[in-house]
A and B are shown apart, each in its own frame.
Chain A
Amino acid sequence: MDILKFITAGSVDDGKSTLIGRLLYDSDSILADQLEALHSSNRKNDDGSIDLAILTDGLKAEREQGITIDVAYKYFQTDKRKFIIADTPGHIQYTRNMVTGASNANLAIILVDARKGVIEQTIRHSFLVALLGIQQVVVCINKMDMVDYSEEVYKSILKDYNALAAKVGLKNVHAIPVSALKGDNIVNTSANMDWYKGESLLHFLETVEITIDASTEHARLPVQWVIRPQTEELHDYRGYAGRVSSGSFKVNDKVTVLPSGFTSTITKIELLDKEPEEALAGMSVTVHLKDEIDISRGDLLVNSSYQPEVSQLIEADLCWMDTRALDTTHTYFIQHNSKVTRCKIQETLYKVNINTLEKEYNEDFKLNDIGRIIIKTADPLAFDRYQDNKANGGAILIDSRTNVTVGALMLRNVAD
């Protein structure tokens, strides 16, 4: 059994929380005491049925305001798969929360209200999903009950959506007409839409293929910690501990340490008392090398035949996440894998109006603004292009004054 992590993009008005509640409720993933709390709550739908959205509303502040402010993680499983949902708010002022939730997702559900069709926020959500490199997208055209389960309405919206997907660069798009409120096509296929011959949402989520980047070209292992017991019996023990972020390593692979450029050969891969022959993407292991070379936390081990870019001047997409605007005169920290170094913004190239996708040329990056910049780092970073390799292409900006994470960076290429 494997794990599918997905994000739901949409606003309260689209019935996003209801959709998640419905998935949990209809797949029997709600336990008795939670169900009791649900039934005893004062919040009900207009027709007196229980309000499933309560299941995903976590914080007091949110209950008071009736909106989802932060990212809430929900867990459920069927006999086919385990699921982790990142439930994020849809309003534009919470763009950073959506980016946060999207950063770890394998799939995105984009909700479209059947009465409204593709609107500004659909464009925004689709753009963000593409920017964060989520490979699979399910468009749920919701509230089909409000448009008499009309196939025409569905087809017309789908046509608009496919045009949008092409524009923002989304490739694997799958569409399902649903009513989260009534439960149509969520867990079971609906009798109300016999014109729809596809699967239910849950069935799709259970069977969609999750791919990992296991190519040796992308073999990357950020060193987090060097294990050196320095006891008498383990006097010469020196293990490099880290999680393979992409690709795979085997014993006898020739590896290069970046940014130093030293090379060696893997002699052993360890995980406590096991010694696997191969370390796959996602595995946390300890690696031993043939030669005693200087390696410390922040270094990157890569397959010597396929090396990433190493540079101090990097072009990147930026999502600004702080209430204080980006300050091009300030020195920030950049954290990339286990490496932290100082950096400055060399140049802001443009911003993107995420509702219209038009470029804007002003360098004033405020909360939730997205655009392209060039950064200059104190130490060189060994990185891959984010859209080719998310694991080694993402980085965060930290404000050295507040220590707060203020930006998400999707690294692109070495700047001229």
Chain B
Amino acid sequence: MSKHNQLDYLDELEAEAIHILREVAGQFERPALLFSGGKDSITLVRLAEKAFRPGKFPFPLVHIDTGHNFIETIEYRDAMVKRLGEKLIVGSVQDSIDQGKVVEQKGKNASRNALQTVTLLDTIAEHKFDACIGGARRDEEKARAKERIFSVRDEFGQWDPKRQRPELWNIYNGKIHKGENVRVFPISNWTELDVWNYIRREKIDLPTIYFAHERDTIVRNGQLMAASPVLNMDEDDVIERRTVRFRTVGDMTCTAAVASDAFLIDDIINEISESKISERGARMDDKVSEAAMEDRKKGGYF
């Protein structure tokens, strides 16, 4: 006898993600979880607890630190790692700059966002990671909409959209050659709203910058940016104190704020439900060209 589906959508998404995390544990020798400090990777951490507790995680957390992170993100990260008792590996973009592996961008729109790809690939090589779990979602952007849950990268970290493996049922093929690695996206099928509803249901603590707060801001290319020493400012920039929040947690140089009075998670969920701008609309790094994300994925970006 079959019966009506009894799983609520959040239970179903959760179960799928846990299944994917356990496949990573079962199929790879040296996996890692890429932790950005953002709500998506924080959700991944909760899912990993569901997948592996009371055992330890079968992978370390890896943070690629641009040095331009919001201080709130770093504080959150360190407190979380302490609570979990899991291993954290930090790959530093500043180190890559100091070693001369990358050159810092100049000018008003300078950002370390593009540089972190190099640090990420170096960190993967140094620790010989064969699988990197990330919090990307298919609803974020149209190139991501076509990416597999197990996404094979060549030795250069590149994604080749035309040579993706067929991915059938919930069977994930993680077989790779030496030097290759796999990016794994357990919450591929979640939307931004799903993540927020899950965070509310699970009562997950988040970095404070996700909630409305007062901050010095400037307007850059029509978007609200946090005024900070890492943003190249000049006399044209007018600093103004505004009540804002951030919808994603990236680099301070490329993550725009939105004016918001959402002080509580319920406010945020209401705001998103009625929102007229998609989440990545507040990320300047996608705006460079219409195919920006596809190009960066091919280059080894998360």
On A, residues with C-beta under 8 Å from B are: 1-3, 31-34, 37, 57-61, 69-75, 77, 82, 84, 96-97, 99-100, 103-104, 209-215, 224-225, 227-229, 234, 237, 241-243, 271-272, 280, 282-284, 297, 321, 333, 335-338, 390-391, 394-396, 398, 403-405, 408
> A264 CB to closest chain B CB, in angstroms?
21
Of the listed stretches B120-128, B237-245, B274-282, chain A binds B274-282
Verify if B108 is at the interface (C-beta below 8 Å from A): no
Residue pair A272, B49 in contact (C-beta under 8 Å): yes
Q: How distant is the Cα of A271 from the Cα of B17 in the complex, in angstroms?
A: 13
- B46-63 interface bits toward A, Cβ cutoff 8 Å, 1 = contact, 0 = none: 000111111110100000
Residue pair A284, B22 in contact (C-beta under 8 Å): yes
Residue pair B278, A333 in contact (C-beta under 8 Å): no
Which residues does chain B contribute within 8 Å of A282, judged by CB atoms? 5, 7, 11-12, 15
* B275: nearest chain-A partner, CB-CB: A31
Verify if B101 is at the interface (C-beta below 8 Å from A): no
9 contacts between A and B (CB under 8 A): A59-B146, A72-B145, A211-B2, A237-B54, A283-B7, A394-B169, A396-B166, A404-B165, A405-B166
Which residues does chain B contribute within 8 Å of A3, judged by CB atoms? 9, 12-13
Residue pair A241, B168 in contact (C-beta under 8 Å): no
Residue pair B167, A405 in contact (C-beta under 8 Å): yes
Q: A33-B278, A284-B50, A394-B171 are in contact. Are A2 and B7 (CB under 8 A)?
A: yes
Q: How distant is the Cα of A400 from the Cα of B175 in the complex, in angstroms?
A: 9
Which residues does chain B contribute within 8 Å of A210, judged by CB atoms? 4-5
Which interface residue of B146, B193, B194, B278 has the most chain A CB atoms within 10 A? B146
A338, A390, A394: the one within 8 Å of B23 (CB): A338
Which residues does chain B contribute within 8 Å of A209, judged by CB atoms? 4
Residue pair B14, A284 in contact (C-beta under 8 Å): yes
Interface of chain B residues 139 through 190 with chain A (CB within 8 A): 139, 142-143, 145-146, 161-162, 164-171, 173, 175-177, 188-189
Q: A70-B161, A227-B55, A405-B168 are in contact. Are A396 and B15 (CB under 8 A)?
A: no
Which interface residue of A214, A224, A396 has the most chain B CB atoms within 10 A? A224
Residue pair B6, A280 in contact (C-beta under 8 Å): yes
Q: How distant is the Cα of A225 from the Cα of B52 in the complex, in angstroms?
A: 9
* A218: nearest chain-B partner, CB-CB: B2
Name the prevailing secondary structure of the A interface residues: mixed
Q: A69-B162, A214-B3, A272-B50 are in contact. Are A31 and B278 (CB under 8 A)?
A: yes
Residue pair A338, B276 in contact (C-beta under 8 Å): no
Verify if B18 is at the interface (C-beta below 8 Å from A): yes
Which residues does chain A contribute within 8 Å of B26, judged by CB atoms? 224-225, 297, 338
Which residues does chain A contribute within 8 Å of B14, judged by CB atoms? 284
> B170 CB to closest chain A CB, in angstroms?
7
Which of under 10, 10 to 19, 20 to 34, or 35 or more describes the interface residues of B? 35 or more
Which residues does chain B contribute within 8 Å of A405, judged by CB atoms? 165-168, 173
Which residues does chain B contribute within 8 Å of A395, judged by CB atoms? 171
Which residues does chain B contribute within 8 Å of A84, judged by CB atoms? 189
Which residues does chain A contribute within 8 Å of B173, judged by CB atoms? 335, 396, 398, 403-405
Residue pair A2, B12 in contact (C-beta under 8 Å): yes
Residue pair A31, B6 in contact (C-beta under 8 Å): no
B1, B19, B54: the one within 8 Å of A227 (CB): B54
Verify if B105 is at the interface (C-beta below 8 Å from A): no
Residue pair A214, B1 in contact (C-beta under 8 Å): yes
B15, B51, B166, B170: the one within 8 Å of A408 (CB): B166
> B164 CB to closest chain A CB, in angstroms?
7
Residue pair B146, A60 in contact (C-beta under 8 Å): no
Q: How distant is the Cα of A359 from the Cα of B277 in the complex, in angstroms?
A: 52
Q: How distant is the Cα of A211 from the Cα of B5 in the complex, in angstroms?
A: 5
Q: A1-B9, A75-B138, A405-B173 are in contact. Are A284 and B18 (CB under 8 A)?
A: yes
Which residues does chain A contribute within 8 Å of B15, judged by CB atoms? 243, 282-284
Q: How distant is the Cα of A80 from the Cα of B129 in the complex, in angstroms?
A: 42
Which residues does chain B contribute within 8 Å of A297, judged by CB atoms? 26
